[in-house]
A and B are shown apart, each in its own frame.
Chain A
Amino acid sequence: MIVRVLYFAWVKEKVGVTAEEIDPPASVATIAELIDWLKERGPEFADAFAKSEVIRAAIDQIHVRHDAKITGAREVAFFPPVTGG
């Protein structure tokens, strides 16, 4: 399943990528599993997602928890807790 993944703020700086298309195996079904899979891609990903509990995620531009299913997702985003306002 091809998914567009976006990274923001310090997550983006650590992985060194703004956006990319990825093709995780079908066994990767949730945000938590996608994070585990991403961490295997290289030291920069392992570093960015080291404290995965602080990472927030969105599927198709809606906030989701880490147990959310990524099935059918077009766009997944990873970012730190928001600090606007």
Chain B
Amino acid sequence: MIRVQQEGFDIGAEIAKLKAGRSDIGAIVTFIGTVRDQHGAVAELTLEHYAGMTEAELQRIEQEANARWPLQASLIVHRTGTLQPGDNIVLVVTASEHRDAAFEAAKFLMDYLKTSAPFWKRESGPGGARWVEAAPSDDNATSRWQKRAAE
């Protein structure tokens, strides 16, 4: 399941919902991305996105993860709007019978989300406001998965 929302999320509640009524899950991995203040340089982070395409991309990424690993459940929640340092930005949860699939799928989901989901971060702080630049390391992380798929 995927969700794009302004409000925060409760990790415990999300995991409880994902597990509710089932006893076949043996491993749950969660990843949470949060806003850093970068030693006082960032007071506020605003996330813009391409409504419609964002949801479509997240669904596509989730389907791809489910095709690659035997997952029993997966969840991506991504926030938009204005956030402060310490706030949660993104949640990825993967559940499988054994831990390897859950760990790998969670990393895959984040790596792909970083390079394909249409979100843009704008940071503001004492030094003014600026659009965050994409990190080349994110593209490298995604291409590692593409190489593995091609092997």
CB contacts between A and B, total, < 8 Å? 68
Residue numbers in A under 8 Å from B121 (CB-CB): 83-84
The answer to whether A83 and B133 have CB atoms under 8 Å apart is yes
**Cβ of B48 under 8 Å from chain A:** yes
CB neighbours of B89 from chain A (8 A)? 84-85
A contact residues around B90 at 8 Å (CB): 84-85
B50 touches A8 (CB 8 A): yes
Secondary structure class of chain B's binding surface, majority of residues: mixed
The number of residues on chain B lying at the interface, defined by a beta carbon within 8 Å of a beta carbon of chain A, is: 27
Cβ-defined partner of A80 (8 Å) among B78, B113, B134: B134
How many residues belonging to A are interface residues under a CB distance threshold of 8 Å? 16
CB-based contact A77/B117 at 8 Å: no
Query: CA–CA, A85 to B131, complex, Å?
Result: 14
- Check A83 against B120 for contact (C-beta < 8 Å): yes
Query: B21 at the A/B interface (Cβ < 8 Å)?
Result: no
The A54-76 residues at the B interface (CB cut-off 8 A) are 58, 61-63
B interface list, Cβ under 8 A from A: 33, 47-50, 52-53, 56-57, 78, 89-90, 110, 113-122, 131-134
17 pairs, CB–CB < 8 Å, chain A vs chain B: A8-B48, A8-B50, A8-B118, A61-B53, A63-B116, A77-B50, A80-B120, A80-B131, A81-B133, A82-B120, A83-B121, A83-B132, A83-B133, A84-B78, A84-B90, A84-B118, A85-B113
